[in-house]
Amino acid sequence: MSMPGWYHDPSGSSGQFRYWDGHQWSHEVSTDPSVPPPAPSGPPGATGPAAGHPGSDHPLGGQPGSGQPAEVPWQPATGPKRSLVPVMLLAAAAVALTLVVALVVTQVFGGGDEPIEPTEPLPPVPTTETGGTETGPAPGGGELNCLGGNGRSADAQQSSYSAAGVSVDVPEDWGFRFDKSLWVFLDDQAAWGRTLDGEEVEGMVLGGLAGYNGFDAPEEASDQVITCIVDYGPYAGEGLQPEPIDSGSITLGGLDGWQRTFAIDQAGVRTVFDVNVLDSGDPESLAVVVTFGPESSAATLEQVRESVSRQ
């Protein structure tokens, strides 16, 4: 069971957070995950909005309902996924407290004319002095930030997904949307696939890598993506080491890039990942296509990669 805290709204509302008290979702939403939890809205066991559970004993947390597919978290085979969100919230609360103290000191002892904003929203999105979203420098422009994606995602099942100048076709039976919080290093992410027998899954994640989050040229960025997957994604906190399989230049859909193949063995469940970082022509970001599944899914995943085309 996931720890209580503010999580990205599982109903898919971009930029909003909903509180999980360890048993149920709150009815209230907030754009600021550093605020205190809302007051209980009902007796224990009461249900909140119909949405994906932030944690479950099953790796994918259940079946999609009618209409809108459910968001399904990918949990480790040995137990529930350890969420980094509470850690992020504690860090945000510490930053907020520091800013409040600075505001009081400024008001008592004097200081600049500009007020100090006491809160800092998550995830951080760099902004310009005029308040607009910063496009950022070319890839490799700073320290790697595996939590810096823009929070946007494809929340409805489609036969083809597009992001970062790239389109990818997927099998029509890929109706599960994986937990968006596992891929927060990506802009405009699409994370879809299906469950197989036992604990196994197969799927695809598509998105953009913003240069201002520290992602380098395709070869280096492919290694950085592995770091984000292992340390902040489905295996966060597990201490697992990726097993390198292959690495080299690649061309998908006429787009040049770099591919790294690695495997993770977790409690007897072996999952093979293909990380493909592509130059889609945008000087300030890269496109990434990640496919994953057991070795028996190799043909299906290869077909997905071969469908890549310029958007």
| Domains, in order of start, for the chain | 160-310 (3.40.1000.10)
233-242 per-residue burial string, b: 16 or more CB within 10 A, e: under 16 = bbbbebebeb
Distance CA 186, CA 206 (A): 8
Strand partners, 263: 243, 272
Q: Above 60 in pLDDT, residue 87?
A: no
Strand ranges (DSSP E) for 92-200?
Answer: 160-163, 166-169, 176-178, 187-195
Q: Above 70 in pLDDT, residue 114?
A: no
Q: Which pLDDT tens digit goes with each residue over 163-217? A: 999 999 999 999 999 999 999 999 999 999 999 987 899 999 999 999 999 999 9
Q: Above 90 in pLDDT, residue 244?
A: yes
Distance CA 289, CA 194 (A): 17
Distance CA 225, CA 200 (A): 21
| Radius of gyration, CA atoms only, the chain | 20
SS3 181: helix
Q: Above 80 in pLDDT, residue 33?
A: no
SS3 180: helix
Q: Above 60 in pLDDT, residue 220?
A: yes
List, in order, residues 6 or more apart from 110 with CB less than 8 Å away: none
The pLDDT, as a whole number, for residue 32 is 76
The answer to whether the predicted template modeling score (pTM) of the entire model surpasses 0.85 is no
41 compared with 25, residue with greater pLDDT: 25
Sign of the Cα pseudo-torsion (201, 22, 230, 88, in order): positive
Q: Which residue has 């950022």 as its token pair?
A: 136
Of 14, 35, 17, 15, give the one whose Cα is nearest residue 25. 17
Distance CA 148, CA 136 (A): 12
Helix, strand, coil percent content, the chain, rounded in steps of 5: 20, 30, 50
Q: Above 60 in pLDDT, residue 109?
A: no
Q: What percent of the chain has pLDDT over 90?
A: 49
For the chain, where are the alpha helices, taking DSSP H only? 85-109, 218-232, 298-306
Confidence of residue 42 (pLDDT cuts 50, 70, 90): very low
User: Structure tokens of 305?
Assistant: 């990669």
Q: Which amino acid is at 58?
A: H
Distance CA 311, CA 309 (A): 6
